Amino acid sequence: MSDHEYERIVPAVHGNLTIEPDSAVDQELADRLRREHSREQLLDLASRHAHGDNDEDARMRRATWRALARRFGHGVRVCRGAIMKHPETFEIGDGVYIGEQVFIQGRYDGRCVIGNFVWIGPQSYLDARDLVIEEYAGWGPGARVLGSQHTGLPADLPVVQTDLRIEPVRVCAWADIGVNAVILPGITVGKGAIVGAGAVVTEDVPPFAIVAGVPARFLRWREGRTEQAPHE
């Protein structure tokens, strides 16, 4: 019997969820926390519930993230060990899944937008100083995005002492970022594009293209696309 005989195709779950509005009780809890606690106290409260595995911990993670964020949608799941920096810059849509041990690193004057039904896999790292991930994008476990890098100038200074260049990163709707892929600063991944596992993306990815490798190179268009391959 060949390996292919063991393959199965099953319906997608996350992208087909029907999201109901969060309960009034949960929304009121977040409003009360925001009124009665300082930002530092909210961060401490989020930390205390970050690793718990019961329903109350999950509820408090949602409530504290909602109280801290600029916008926080309905039906968001914040899993164990997920942490954030500068959540006041976050705009999180409906039905977003934030996996275990995800780290979202914002910046005090930055912007992080995570669209509806985005799925962020466990142990991912998002340098979210100027980051937009549009709706229904998938982010594979361990994948990373860098939104900034040191200029390295002047060369007579250690690199870590040189200025930081912040560049916007855009992951368009329906795109899928593979396990352990890396998206470098200034990159746009086009609508419906697929980035292969372990790829390092150094150039923009056209809509509905499939790229892979280090550095990532165009492989083919997704089935049904007829455009010519980009110039090498």
Average pLDDT over residues 83-89: 97
pLDDT digit string (tens) for 91-114? 999 999 999 999 999 999 999 999
Q: How many angstroms separate the Cα of 72 from the Cα of each of 76, 80, 109, 145?
A: 8, 18, 18, 21
Gap between the Cα atoms of 192 and 73, Å rounded: 23
Q: Which of 1 and 37 is assigned the larger pLDDT?
A: 37
pLDDT at 224: 73
Q: Assess whether pLDDT exceeds 70 at residue 232.
A: no
**How far apart are the C-alpha atoms of 108 and 88, rounded to whole Å?**
8
Q: What is the pLDDT of residue 97?
A: 98
Q: To the nearest whole number, what is the mean pLDDT of the chain? A: 94
Percent of the chain with pLDDT over 70: 95
Residue owning tokens 């979202």:
104
Alpha-carbon distance of 75 to 67, in angstroms, equals 15
Asked whether residue 51 carries a pLDDT value surpassing 80, the answer given is: yes
Q: Is the pLDDT of residue 6 over 80?
A: no
0.85 exceeded by the pTM? yes
Residue 80 has pLDDT above 60, yes or no: yes
117-130 pLDDT, tens digit each: 999 999 999 999 99
In 3D space, the residue among 95, 199, 98 whose CA is nearest the CA of residue 145 turns out to be 199
* pLDDT grade for 7, boundaries at 50, 70 and 90: confident
As a whole number, mean pLDDT of residues 141-165 equals 96
Cα 90 → chain centroid: 11
**Rounded-to-integer distance, Cα 176 and Cα 212, Å:** 12
Q: Render pLDDT for 155-175 as a digit per residue (tens, 0 to 9).
A: 999 999 999 999 999 999 999
- Quote the pLDDT of residue 203: 98
